[in-house]
């Protein structure tokens, strides 16, 4: 009996456009199997989903053709049914006989193909939820990295000697996983972003007195080669090390002291965002604790950091412009309403509030969205919608990549590939799937637009912008200031011009100047209808000069219209308020909650609030207790 006959009942359930595809796959497979014997004799569950899985993934078909023995290996077939097989990764690798680096590369690739087949099978068969799939992929990568590093470290120690800390303790380098690997969210055909570091400088006791930096650099280069090189057996994981300090122009790895100095003095803003998900994935975990502790204050500031909003917004705009240039807006990761927008929403709240809300100091985006709902920072509807959208989009992403094991995030353009993707997601045809996908992306983008105020940025009052930037004639500026209610418009205009020339404003960084350029037009509009608007403006300008060195406070006002409204209202009522805020700018945060701002003080409420704030401080963090 041919395989087509054996699986005729299953193929009848396929969309008509996919029947020929499944028959072609079965014919190819039949060349390597005994057609007279049914497949999966002892595994009826596998038999039931075989056609679905085979139709949805050329990678699975190709893997079975390369290793047809898997179809009759009951030990392996049992692993397809095991939800927790990832717990065996380390033991399987440890059982391998690896005499040299070439064997290591070959065996790792065979191991990777078997495990990737299993993960794709369980996903496409709907036996695994998203969390299982992402965790399996992440731990697979982590196990391969650790096993390879252990082998290479022992080889180099045998050849050169053992590096030791100043107290004589042997130590290994530290491997950091960035992005989705760090958050246990690795997608199916993802590359892995790694950064390497070592605890301290020193020299080996070999003839050349090899520096530790050179010793570990050789190991790091070998590790990348083992994982990344494409051979006749394929690859393990595409490995990217460009996120390290100084990028491609920097050293392969740095000491802990060197990394601390870099992140404190030279790191760019996007590197701070990248560190939200950083996690040690291999190497010396004892010394690695010191390095991970160093990253925390770099990522999570003690104050509410609203400057992160504009940075993330600008980064997203650049990504969108690049996609438009390449005509790739159907990229479900980077395009409008895609995975990255959901991640940016979570990261924005983490970077702004993570220093004050330890519950936000997590890596996984689904946990972050749930926490944002619990903290009241997202509405239950938005939080649940984003979680549902994230699961859907990540499943689509995995299915796109499971089709041919290719690192792509673009929706397929080929009609057959479109039909396969729609079928894998349980839609009858492509059009139905696309309607559902577009609806989800529109919902995500609507929340993204709300959080990042993209529409607000595009709708800045043009005349007030022109006044602040000096982009119109004096007569027009004065006329507009008069229309805003300023009685002595010429004096107000001169006050604004003098403010722009003040030393504090001229010293602003490019980022700070950008914040001021967006804030001041809003201030002019907010003063409309204020009885003593000229006096209030003078008070505000003095306050802005006093806090200009801390862009974050200006960003708070620029990003929050309610906070700006409150500061205008309070400044109109009291000069002392502005003077006090200049002395204690951390109190700007209080402008965000009008309930606490205007409620009478009560001893019991103050005690509860103080207790809650102290609970969020670690016992060893004396400075945070004092603040």
* CATH code (residue 418): 1.20.120.330
User: Contact at 8 Å (CB) between 184 and 134?
Assistant: yes
The closest alpha carbon to 276, from 369, 180, 137, belongs to 180
**Taking the CA atoms of the chain, what radius of gyration do you get in angstroms?**
29
The CATH number of the domain holding residue 536 is: 1.20.120.1510
Confidence of residue 589 (pLDDT cuts 50, 70, 90): confident
Within-domain flag for 526: yes
Residues 349 and 281 in one domain: no
Choose one of 419, 454, 489: the last residue of a domain.
454
Q: Calculate the dihedral angle through the C-alpha atoms of 554, 560, 561, 567, rounding to the nearest 10 degrees.
A: -50
Contacts 24+ apart (CB under 8 A), 68-72: 68/29, 68/32, 68/33, 70/114, 70/117, 71/33, 71/39, 71/40
Identify the weakest region by mean pLDDT among 194-203, 345-354, 451-460.
Answer: 451-460
Q: What are phi and psi of 194, to 5 degrees?
A: -125, 150
- What gap in Å lies between CA 215 and CA 252, rounded to an integer? 11
Q: From 282, 287, 244, select the one nearest 153 (Cα to Cα).
A: 282
Greatest mean pLDDT range, 16-30, 83-97, 587-601: 83-97
Residue 627: pLDDT band with limits 50, 70, 90: very low
Residue 19 lies in a domain: no
Q: Are residues 247 and 321 in the same domain?
A: no
pLDDT given at position 238: 96
Burial class of residue 206 (count of CB atoms within 10 Å of its CB; 0-12, 13-18, 19+):
exposed
Question: Is residue 489, in this structure, part of any structural domain at all?
Answer: yes
The mean predicted confidence, pLDDT, of the chain is 89
Indicate if 337 and 415 belong to the same structural domain.
yes
Model confidence at 291, in pLDDT bands (50, 70, 90)? very high
Residue 459: pLDDT band (50, 70, 90) is low
| Average pLDDT of the residues in 431-453 | 93
pLDDT of residue 596: 61
Burial pattern 431-453, b for ≥16 Cβ within 10 A else e, equals eebbeebeebbebbbebbeebbb
* Average pLDDT value for residue range 203-215: 92
- Residue 564 is assigned to a structural domain of this protein: yes
What's the pLDDT at 594? 60
**332 and 267 in one domain?**
no
Write the DSSP string, 282-295.
EE-HHHHHHHHHHH
The tokens of 460 are what?
């800045």
The single residue listed with the structure tokens 């927790």 is 84
Cβ neighbour number for residue 32 with a 10 Å cutoff: 13
442 and 331 within one domain: yes
Per-residue model confidence (pLDDT) at position 352: 85
User: Are 321 and 468 part of one and the same domain?
Assistant: no
- pLDDT band, very low/low/confident/very high, at 620 (cuts 50, 70, 90): very low
- Check whether residue 278 and residue 154 sit in a common domain: yes
On the 0-12 / 13-18 / 19+ scale of CB atoms within 10 A, 127 is: middle
Q: Is the pLDDT of residue 313 over 80?
A: no
**Residues 326, 272: Cα–Cα separation, whole Å:** 28
| Domain finish residue from 454, 470, 502 | 454
Instruction: Say how many domains are in the chain.
Output: 3
> Which domain covers residue 234, as residue numbers?
135-299
- With cut-offs at 50, 70 and 90, classify the pLDDT of residue 57: very high
Out of 159-168, 240-249, 504-513, 600-609, least confident range = 600-609
Q: What is the pLDDT of residue 625?
A: 46
Tokens of 560: 């929050």
In a domain, 97, yes or no: no
The region of weakest confidence among 130-144, 188-202, 260-274, 383-397 is 260-274
Give yes or no: residues 314 and 166 share one domain. no
The string of DSSP codes covering 138-152 is HHHHHHHHHHHHHHH
**Among the listed residues 193, 166, 189, the one whose alpha carbon sits nearest the alpha carbon of residue 181:** 193
- Ramachandran bin of 337, using left for φ above 0, alpha for ψ from -120 to 50, beta for the remaining angles: left
pLDDT band at 70 (very low <50, low <70, confident <90, very high): confident
In a domain, 569, yes or no: yes
pLDDT of residue 1: 65
**Are 411 and 502 in the same domain?**
no
Task: Look at residue 11 and tell me if it is in a domain.
Answer: no
**Residue 68 is assigned to a structural domain of this protein:** no
pLDDT digits (tens, 9 = 90+) for 403-437: 999 999 999 999 999 999 999 999 999 999 999 99
Locate 10 and state its tokens.
């299953």
pLDDT band at 626 (very low <50, low <70, confident <90, very high): very low
Give the model's pLDDT for residue 609: 63
Q: List the CATH number of the domain containing 273.
A: 3.30.460.10
Percent of the chain with pLDDT over 90: 67
Answer with the one of 454, 475, 493 that is the final residue of a domain.
454
Asked whether residue 619 falls in the same domain as residue 547, the answer is yes
Considering the domain architecture, whether residues 385 and 244 belong to the same structural domain is answered as no
Answer yes or no: are the C-beta atoms of 445 and 320 closer than 8 Å: no
Whole-structure pTM over 0.75, yes or no?
yes
Q: What percentage of the chain has pLDDT greater than the value 70?
A: 92
* Residue 451 pLDDT grade (very low, low, confident, very high; cuts 50, 70, 90): confident
Contact predicate 464/483, CB 8 Å: no
- pLDDT tens by residue, 348-407: 899 888 988 899 999 999 999 999 999 999 999 999 999 999 999 999 999 999 999 999
* Beta carbons of 288 and 295 less than 8 angstroms apart: no
Confidence of residue 206 (pLDDT cuts 50, 70, 90): confident
- Are 534 and 429 in the same domain? no
Residue 47's pLDDT is what?
87
């Amino acid at each position: 009996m041919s395989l087509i006959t054996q699986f005729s009942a299953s193929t009848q359930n396929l969309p008509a456009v996919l029947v020929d595809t499944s028959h072609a796959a079965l014919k190819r497979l039949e060349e390597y199997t005994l057609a007279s014997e049914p497949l999966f004799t002892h595994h009826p569950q596998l038999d039931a989903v075989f056609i679905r899985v085979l139709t949805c993934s050329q990678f699975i078909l190709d893997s079975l053709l390369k290793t047809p023995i898997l179809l009759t290996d009951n030990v392996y077939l049992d692993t397809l049914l095991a939800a927790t097989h990832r717990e065996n990764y380390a033991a399987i690798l440890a059982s391998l006989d690896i005499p040299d680096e070439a064997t290591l590369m070959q065996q790792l690739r065979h191991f990777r193909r078997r495990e990737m087949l299993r993960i794709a099978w369980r996903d496409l068969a709907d036996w695994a939820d998203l969390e299982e799939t992402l965790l399996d992929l992440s731990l697979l990568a982590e196990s391969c990295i650790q096993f390879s590093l252990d082998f290479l470290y022992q080889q180099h120690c045998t050849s050169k000697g053992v590096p030791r800390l100043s107290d004589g303790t042997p130590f290994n380098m530290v491997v950091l996983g960035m992005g989705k690997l760090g958050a246990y969210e690795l997608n199916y055909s993802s590359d892995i972003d790694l950064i390497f570091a070592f605890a301290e400088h020193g020299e080996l006791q070999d003839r050349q007195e090899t520096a530790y930096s050179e010793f570990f650099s050789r190991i790091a280069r070998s590790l990348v080669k083992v994982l990344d090189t494409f051979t006749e057996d394929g690859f393990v994981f595409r490995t990217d090390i460009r996120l390290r300090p100084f990028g491609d122009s920097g050293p392969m790895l740095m000491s802990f002291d060197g990394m601390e100095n870099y992140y404190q003095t030279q790191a760019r803003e996007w590197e701070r965002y990248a560190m939200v998900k950083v996690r040690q994935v291999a190497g010396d975990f004892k010394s690695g604790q010191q390095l991970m502790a160093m990253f925390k204050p770099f990522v999570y500031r003690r104050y509410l950091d609203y400057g992160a909003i504009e940075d993330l917004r600008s980064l997203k705009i650049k990504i969108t412009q690049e996609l438009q240039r390449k005509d790739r807006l159907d990229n479900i990761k980077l395009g409008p309403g895609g995975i990255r927008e959901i991640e940016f929403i979570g990261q924005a709240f983490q970077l702004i509030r993570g220093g004050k809300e330890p519950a936000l100091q997590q890596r996984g985006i689904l946990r972050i969205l749930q926490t944002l709902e619990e903290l009241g920072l997202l509405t239950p509807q938005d939080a649940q919608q984003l979680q549902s959208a994230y699961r859907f989009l990540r499943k689509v992403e995995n299915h796109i990549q499971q089709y041919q094991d290719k690192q792509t995030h673009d929706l397929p353009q080929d009609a057959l590939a479109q039909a396969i993707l729609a079928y894998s997601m349980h839609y009858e045809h492509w059009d139905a799937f696309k309607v559902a996908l577009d609806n989800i992306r529109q919902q995500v983008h609507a929340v993204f637009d709300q959080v990042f105020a993209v529409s607000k940025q595009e709708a800045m009052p043009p005349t007030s912008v022109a006044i602040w930037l000096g982009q119109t004639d004096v007569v027009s500026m004065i006329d507009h200031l008069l229309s805003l209610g300023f009685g002595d418009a010429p004096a107000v205009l001169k006050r604004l011009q003098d403010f722009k020339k003040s030393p504090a404003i001229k010293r602003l960084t490019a980022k700070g100047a950008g914040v001021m350029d967006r804030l001041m037009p809003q201030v002019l509009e907010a003063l409309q209808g204020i009885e003593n608007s000229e006096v209030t403006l003078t008070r505000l300008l003095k306050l802005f000069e006093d806090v200009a060195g801390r862009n974050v406070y200006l960003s708070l006002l620029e990003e929050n219209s309610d906070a700006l409204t409150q500061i205008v209202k309070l400044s109109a009522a009291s000069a002392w308020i502005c003077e006090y805020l200049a002395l204690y700018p951390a109190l700007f945060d209080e402008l965000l909650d009008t309930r606490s701002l205007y409620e009478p003080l009560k001893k019991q409420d103050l005690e509860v609030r103080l207790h809650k704030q102290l609970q969020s401080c670690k016992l060893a963090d004396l400075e945070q207790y004092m603040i």
